[in-house]
Amino acid sequence: MSAFNNAKKFFEACEAPSGWAGCRDYCEKGATFTAQSEPLAEVSTIQAYADWMHGFGTVTAKGATYTLNASAYDEENRTAIFFATYHATHVGEGGPVPPTNKSVDSHYVYALKMSDNDKVESMTKIWNAPWAMRALGWID
């Protein structure tokens, strides 16, 4: 399977949200994660991020979907890029406040560095978390 196909499968599993159980087959052991985004500042592994996404998906469960706006693969840098929009409403228990029933359409980007084994070895997420959290009614 090609690196880009594995990257697509990882993206889809992560956004399902399948948690680490659904993502691990597409990742190298110890794969790293970075994001300049407040809720994810302490997350440093893809395993922890996949489990965070599973939890976030539970809180915004009712009808949570995403639209994949664009994807690309840079062969020279072995990097897959996915630009998407997350659509969700806060209806589930959990999160920083009781359910707000507010909705968000939040843009984000995954940059996935692929190993020589065609697996994800590192991930960077680009996401304006404060904007999304305000739209959900979680912060002022």
- Mind listing the pLDDT tens digit for each residue in 99-138? 888 999 999 999 999 999 999 999 999 999 999 989 988 8
Q: Max alpha carbon distance in the chain (Å)?
A: 46
pLDDT tens-digit series, residues 6-63: 999 999 999 988 999 999 999 999 999 999 999 999 999 999 999 998 887 776 656 6
Cis peptide before 17 (omega within 30 of 0): yes
Where are the chain's structural domains? 3-135
Predicted pLDDT at 33:
98
pTM: 0.92
CATH 3.10.450.50 assigned to 3-135: yes
Q: Quick check: 99 and 90 in contact, CB under 8 A?
A: yes
Helix axes 3-15, 46-59, angle to 10 degrees: 40
Other beta carbons less than 10 A from residue 3's beta carbon: 21
Four-residue CA torsion sign, 111, 120, 77, 35? positive
